[in-house]
Amino acid sequence: MKRLVPMWIAIIAGFVMLLSTFFPITESLGETVGEIFNVVAAIAFVLGAGSLAKVNLAKISRRDQGWGYAAITLICFAITLVVGLGKIGVPQSTQFPLLGWSGEKDAEGSIFGWIYEFALVPITSTMFALLAFYVASAAFRAFRAKNLEAILLLSTAFIVLLGRTFAGVVLTGWLPDWASGLRLENFSVYIMQVFNTAGNRAIIIGIALGVTATSLRILLGVDRSWMGSGD
């Protein structure tokens, strides 16, 4: 029964959302199911926050390796949560001046917006900047010109990498205007817009077919792995 009820809820909700796309008469019912999904998602966020606190508190309590990072995570999480829910420093909304807490939490001048702009964005940029070196190192170890496909992959990656840097402009900047398409900065753009776009579209089509097949298996009750392995 614990598996049967969730399965039928998923099947009914899935078919309602599917039919509401093609039949206008069921559109309002689909919107209701969407609102229910938003409520369930909000509950999932609360459970996720509780899990985050539980895991990091246990790590701090046991003094595991890296427990200091867990403490920093919890402190930042608590500060962001209090500032966001309390809308501390949020200016009053001009649209609803008589209602308290009517301003947007990430409005200009708010503490939440300041944390996002001056803390989260720089940290994210730093992380991706560091990842670039790891990707380059992994690519250097992985790319070996052992066959034609590997040679094409290595050559394309090298052209795109040089075309995105100032070195590519210097190396091929001497080419005349009638051969500007062969300049590395232009040739790399051509590769990304033509070959890369074609490959991405093929991958996206394959993913769409896979999602469709998996969704049909769930809607028809064939695939029940999403409910876990318990009885």
91: which DSSP letter?
Answer: P
Structure-block tokens of residue 10: 């998923």
Place of tokens 């051509």: 190
The pLDDT of residue 201: 95
Structure-block tokens of residue 123: 């940290």
User: What pTM was estimated for this model as a whole?
Assistant: 0.61
CA distance 132 to 201: 25
The pLDDT of residue 99: 66
Q: What is the pLDDT along the chain (231 residues), one digit of tens a residue?
A: 677 888 888 888 888 988 888 888 888 888 999 899 999 999 999 999 999 999 999 999 999 988 999 999 999 999 988 888 887 777 777 676 666 666 677 677 778 888 888 888 999 999 988 887 887 777 777 666 677 877 788 788 888 888 888 888 888 888 888 888 888 888 999 999 999 999 999 999 999 999 999 988 888 888 878 777 654
Cβ pair 60, 66 in contact under 8 A: no
CA distance 80 to 112: 7
Which H or E element spans position 46?
A: helix 27-62
Cα angle 136-140-145, degrees, rounded to a multiple of 5: 140
In degrees and rounded to multiples of 5, residue 216 shows phi and psi of -65, -40
Write 137-146 long-range contacts (CB < 8 A, 24+): none
CA distance 155 to 175: 20
CA distance 74 to 51: 12
